[in-house]
Chain A
Amino acid sequence: MARVELQKIRKSYGDSTVLRDLSLTVNDGECFTLLGPSGCGKTVLLRLIAGFEKPDAGVIRIGERVVSDAAASVSAAPNERDLGVVFQDYAVWPHMTVFDNIAYPLKLAKVADTALRARVMETVGQVNLRGLEDRMPSQLSGGQQQRVALARALVAKPSLLLLDEPLCNLDAGLREEMRFEIKEIQKNLGITIFYVTHDQEIALAISDRMAIMDEQGIIRQIGAPDEIFEQPADEFVFRFMGVANFLTVHRQPGGGWVTGGGQRFPWEPDGDASAWLAGFRPSDVRLGRNGEGLRCRVKRASFLGAMMDYLIEVDGAQFRTQIETHAALAQGLMFGESDACTATFHSVHWFKAGEIPEGSR
């Protein structure tokens, strides 16, 4: 169980600076996710924490120990940092059995045979691999190999577990199952987890806290999943966390706000600018047949099973929304293409106009 502290980390490769002055704290026993688009530098940060690379500046502490201090030329080797790592491609050793793979860290620590065996079998049970100990990795499915990697990372009871996009090569159903299991294991063992991914769904599902990183390697927001989703700090976070709709809204000379087509917009931004962008999620929209709200037209309607998915056009702009099928049936909201409808909003986030292109999804 350890707390991870990163202070003013800087890392460059040749001319490009990937991380600059990055500071971050992961609390003891927390499941912390670093979320960001591909190539933003999140994997680099994980590798710095692991010790596979050295930062150009800054200090990294794991627990009480300083494992890396660029200024003082201190750098603990990866094998001295007491952590477990799960790689994106699993990195399960193909020439060793499942048992030997998992036992390796204990072998290196010169654990006695009986204790080793007991501990390995315990971990095998924790990741639901019982019965497969003598198989070779080539005989296992992707999901099973992933569990071997997880078991191997956990067997030596490390204080910190680092996971680098471990689920992206699995199919959707397995991904859901595995992220559930990772969360279970984390809760049961109370281990600190540092998880890196580009998939906001996974991040939302497993994290106690998460950090959003942009393409430049800058952290935009840190918080609990519902904080990030409900109160995005800026438009980057808003866009990254899911489907984002936007409508431009103009100030009317007499007061009040209207859309591009002159319809009255019931929500009011807080500020001086004369034009704003209203941002909202599909679930923030309430559609109706005829009643209060903006007059819109259904551009596309798709039946997706549990949901009806609509692409709505209003005054030249477009946005998406969904209604649960059974609710749509019950309330007469099964729209077809070109149907007229009305839209009101539960809530809206405001962004400065000009920051985001009109009508983007």
Chain B
Amino acid sequence: MRAATPSRGIGAAEVILGLSVGILVVVVAVPVLIIFFNAFWVNGQFNLADTLKALREPDTYRALLNSLFIASGVTVMSTIIGTFFAWLVTRTDLPFKPAMRVLFLVPFMLPSFIGALAWKMLLSPRAGYINRFLMDVVGLDGPVFDIYTFTGIMAVETMYLFPFVFIQVCGALERMDPTLEESARISGASLFTITRKITIPLVRPSILSGALLIMLYSMAHFGTVAVLGIEAGIFNIPTLIYEKIHQSAGSFNSIRTGTVLATVLVITAALIMFIQNKVLSRGRYQIIAGKSFRPVETKLRALRMPMLVFCIAYIGFTIVLPTVTIFMVGGLKTYGLPFTAENLTLANYRYILFDWKMTRDAIWNSVTLGLAAALITMFAGVMISYVIVKMKVRGKGLLEFLGMLPFSVPGSVIALGVMLAWSGKFGINIYNTVWIILVAYIARYMAFSLKANSAALEQVHDSLVEAARASGAGMGQALRDIVLPLVRPGMFAAFFLIFLPALRELTVSVLLYGPTTRKIGVAIYTLNEDGETVYSAALAGIALLIIVTAQTLIGRFTRARTMT
């Protein structure tokens, strides 16, 4: 059914359209385009030579190679772990499956750079607690594991990224029509053959979808490589951009190099998305089930308990251990002291929360920026989604494209673009203020808001509005009484989808922060850089508490307000 054309004609519809285009162009298009311009235009002239020169610098292509190498390693390991756990939780008789399913999603809640911090404290070659313990107590000669390596970086990223694959594969396995496997059974195939020839190929699209998400994320990720890589001279593109700009305090040349690097990153990201589209369009099968018979279950027999122990140990190792470490180190009087009662105190926490202006501001900035970004993006998203989904106007495709653009543009690139665009170029200078970070967040997260709101709006069939019109309601009343209540869940979803990531993110704010506009992530990171490990850990602990509390409250809130 087609959307009802508003009887107002020129007026409200055109205004909304204009506003939507305006917002997206200013907030999203300008920063991205300016990157490209800056990379290829020098002094008003198209200059490819300089660009190529910057590309050929050893730093640059090594960073690109590192990015690809790390991302690939992380993707492969995450895919294996994620698929394995997904299979365990949906297709075997593992005990406590519902609980395990939730437990495997916990790594999502831990920002990976905080995890990196914890692992640095545990496994740095000289001072890491595990290494020290094994050297002192067990008498090993050298560190059993040096975290400042490619392997270390990949391992840490994998720990906190595998849920991407896990969720996708779990969903696919659970929704899959069980008769697809039953027909293989009745044809004479053993369970092993079925898994190999039928089940895995059918969930391959989901596996790939999760894997490519991880690839994209890892390539654009700042935190883990920054914490663990800089010591060993391992740079990926986001960290290299940061390093160049930070070291030169924002010199023209460094920004240019930054934009070239950013361009490389965007092109690589676009290529990855293109490949994902190609692969998925080929392999998308309709395998959703109708009837409710349960799928085949493999009996683990003797392995049942060992597998359970393994899963719990994995969670314990990757979640509990780092979290405990963070809190314990945060309670130390001085870093390096052994963990005895007299060396532990709550003083650091008190200091950070109440006394130190820098950290208090950081917490405050994070929360307010998160709320502001989420609110603004939520409302803008509803309006723009309405235009895209419901209105019959020309130029909708452009809106859709602009809205989804930031999805594939890495955080560093948006930060850089925003920096270039709004540091005086167009008469607006908000550099070093909170506003620039806010603008960057709106650009970054608009795509999430559009997705959530579009999904909700698409559920509101035109006939629901038409039924209201036929009942006697004018267009505005129909929007108020029918559309708005039904879209509210989508708006809330958008809000939460943005608030939490905005609260804890580092990649964007690390490039845009000024002396008074630090966020929690930046503060944790800079404290660590400056060697204030204990304070860094304490702040990280507080950040974790805030995140977990926020997540739990949100979970309860959405569950209470769930309407079908």
What residues make up the interface of A, taking CB atoms closer than 8 Å to B? Answer: 50-53, 77-79, 83-85, 87-89, 91-95, 104-105, 108-109, 136, 138, 149, 152-153, 156
Chain B neighbourhood of A92, CB < 8 A: 467
Out of B7, B466, B467, B471, name the residue touching A108 (CB < 8 Å). Answer: B471
| Inter-chain contact A91/B471, CB cutoff 8 Å | no
| Inter-chain contact B472/A94, CB cutoff 8 Å | no
Do A79 and B470 contact each other (CB < 8 Å), given the known contacts A94-B564, A95-B563?
yes
Within 8 A of A (CB), among B454-473: 461, 463-464, 466-473
Chain A neighbourhood of B474, CB < 8 A: 77, 79
Separation of A149 and B4 alpha carbons in the complex (Å):
20
| Inter-chain contact B563/A104, CB cutoff 8 Å | no
What are 13 A-B residue pairs whose CB atoms fall within 8 Å in the complex? A51-B469, A52-B4, A52-B466, A53-B2, A78-B466, A79-B472, A79-B474, A84-B470, A92-B467, A93-B468, A104-B471, A152-B467, A156-B471
Separation of A95 and B488 alpha carbons in the complex (Å):
11
Chain B neighbourhood of A105, CB < 8 A: 471-472
Separation of A91 and B482 alpha carbons in the complex (Å):
11
Most buried by B among A50, A78, A88, A95: A78
| Inter-chain contact B461/A108, CB cutoff 8 Å | no
Most buried by A among B466, B467, B477: B467
Give me 7 other A-B pairs in contact (C-beta within 8 A), A77-B469, A85-B470 excluded: A52-B466, A77-B474, A79-B474, A87-B467, A152-B467, A156-B471, A156-B472
Is B531 engaged at the interface, CB distance under 8 Å to the other chain?
Answer: no
Q: Which residue of B lies closest to A86 (CB)?
A: B467
Out of B4, B7, B467, B564, name the residue touching A93 (CB < 8 Å). Answer: B467
Chain A neighbourhood of B466, CB < 8 A: 50, 52, 78, 85, 87, 91
| Inter-chain contact A94/B486, CB cutoff 8 Å | yes
Out of B7, B469, B477, B485, name the residue touching A95 (CB < 8 Å). Answer: B485
| Inter-chain contact A104/B468, CB cutoff 8 Å | yes
Chain B contact residues: helix, strand, loop or mixed: helix
Separation of A78 and B486 alpha carbons in the complex (Å):
22
Closest 9 CB pairs of A and B: A91-B463, A105-B471, A91-B467, A108-B472, A85-B470, A78-B469, A138-B564, A87-B463, A79-B472
Q: Which residue of A lies closest to B486 (CB)?
A: A95
Most buried by B among A53, A79, A138: A79
Separation of A84 and B466 alpha carbons in the complex (Å):
11
Out of A50, A77, A89, A104, name the residue touching B7 (CB < 8 Å). Answer: A77
Separation of A92 and B4 alpha carbons in the complex (Å):
18
Q: Which residue of B lies closest to A84 (CB)?
A: B470
Chain A neighbourhood of B468, CB < 8 A: 93, 104
Chain B neighbourhood of A108, CB < 8 A: 471-473, 477
Most buried by B among A91, A94, A156: A91
Q: How far is the CB of B474 from chain A (nearest CB, A)?
A: 6
Q: Mark B197-230, 1 if CB is under 8 A from A, else 0.
A: 0000000000000000000000000000000000
Separation of A94 and B468 alpha carbons in the complex (Å):
13
Chain A neighbourhood of B4, CB < 8 A: 52
| Inter-chain contact A93/B464, CB cutoff 8 Å | yes
Chain A neighbourhood of B473, CB < 8 A: 79, 104, 108
| Inter-chain contact B477/A78, CB cutoff 8 Å | no
Separation of A85 and B473 alpha carbons in the complex (Å):
13
Q: Mark B480-508, 1 if CB is under 8 A from A, else 0.
A: 01100110000000000000000000000
Separation of A105 and B477 alpha carbons in the complex (Å):
12
Q: How far is the CB of A137 from chain B (nearest CB, A)?
A: 9
Chain B neighbourhood of A153, CB < 8 A: 470
Chain A neighbourhood of B2, CB < 8 A: 53
Q: Which residue of B lies closest to A108 (CB)?
A: B472
Q: How far is the CB of B531 from chain A (nearest CB, A)?
A: 56
| Inter-chain contact B471/A89, CB cutoff 8 Å | no
Chain A neighbourhood of B477, CB < 8 A: 108
| Inter-chain contact B470/A83, CB cutoff 8 Å | yes
| Inter-chain contact A93/B482, CB cutoff 8 Å | yes
Q: Which residue of B lies closest to A54 (CB)?
A: B5
Do A94 and B563 contact each other (CB < 8 Å), given the known contacts A77-B7, A87-B463, A89-B461?
yes
Separation of A77 and B464 alpha carbons in the complex (Å):
16
| Inter-chain contact A52/B469, CB cutoff 8 Å | yes
Separation of A138 and B464 alpha carbons in the complex (Å):
15
Q: Which residue of A lies closest to B459 (CB)?
A: A94
Within 8 A of A (CB), among B26-40: none
Separation of A92 and B463 alpha carbons in the complex (Å):
9
Separation of A77 and B475 alpha carbons in the complex (Å):
10
Most buried by B among A53, A84, A108: A108
Q: How far is the CB of B467 from chain A (nearest CB, A)?
A: 4
Q: Which residue of B lies closest to A89 (CB)?
A: B463
Separation of A104 and B467 alpha carbons in the complex (Å):
10
Chain B neighbourhood of A88, CB < 8 A: 463
Separation of A53 and B392 alpha carbons in the complex (Å):
13
Chain B neighbourhood of A156, CB < 8 A: 471-472
Separation of A87 and B464 alpha carbons in the complex (Å):
9
Most buried by A among B7, B471, B485: B471
Out of A50, A51, A91, A109, name the residue touching B464 (CB < 8 Å). Answer: A91
Chain B neighbourhood of A79, CB < 8 A: 469-474
Q: How far is the CB of B407 from chain A (nearest CB, A)?
A: 30
Chain B neighbourhood of A53, CB < 8 A: 2
| Inter-chain contact B470/A78, CB cutoff 8 Å | yes
Q: How far is the CB of A266 from chain B (nearest CB, A)?
A: 52
Q: Mark B535-552, 1 if CB is under 8 A from A, else 0.
A: 000000000000000000
Chain A neighbourhood of B471, CB < 8 A: 79, 104-105, 108, 152, 156
Q: How far is the CB of A164 from chain B (nearest CB, A)?
A: 9
Separation of A284 and B307 alpha carbons in the complex (Å):
73
Q: Which residue of A lies closest to B484 (CB)?
A: A95
Out of B470, B472, B563, B564, name the residue touching A50 (CB < 8 Å). Answer: B470
| Inter-chain contact A91/B461, CB cutoff 8 Å | yes
Q: Which residue of A lies closest to B481 (CB)?
A: A104
Q: Which residue of A lies closest to B4 (CB)?
A: A52
Separation of A153 and B468 alpha carbons in the complex (Å):
10
Q: Which residue of A lies closest to B469 (CB)?
A: A78
Out of A85, A136, A138, name the residue touching B467 (CB < 8 Å). Answer: A85
Separation of A91 and B468 alpha carbons in the complex (Å):
9
Separation of A260 and B474 alpha carbons in the complex (Å):
65
Chain B neighbourhood of A87, CB < 8 A: 463, 466-467
Chain B neighbourhood of A84, CB < 8 A: 470
| Inter-chain contact A109/B467, CB cutoff 8 Å | no
Chain A neighbourhood of B472, CB < 8 A: 79, 105, 108-109, 156
Separation of A138 and B461 alpha carbons in the complex (Å):
16
Q: Which residue of B lies closest to A155 (CB)?
A: B471
Separation of A53 and B7 alpha carbons in the complex (Å):
10
Chain A neighbourhood of B482, CB < 8 A: 93
Q: How far is the CB of B49 from chain A (nearest CB, A)?
A: 50
Separation of A95 and B564 alpha carbons in the complex (Å):
8
Chain B neighbourhood of A95, CB < 8 A: 485-486, 563
Separation of A61 and B235 alpha carbons in the complex (Å):
75
Chain B neighbourhood of A91, CB < 8 A: 461, 463-464, 466-467
Separation of A117 and B244 alpha carbons in the complex (Å):
72
Separation of A132 and B469 alpha carbons in the complex (Å):
25
Q: How far is the CB of A258 from chain B (nearest CB, A)?
A: 53
Q: Which residue of B lies closest to A77 (CB)?
A: B7
Separation of A214 and B370 alpha carbons in the complex (Å):
59
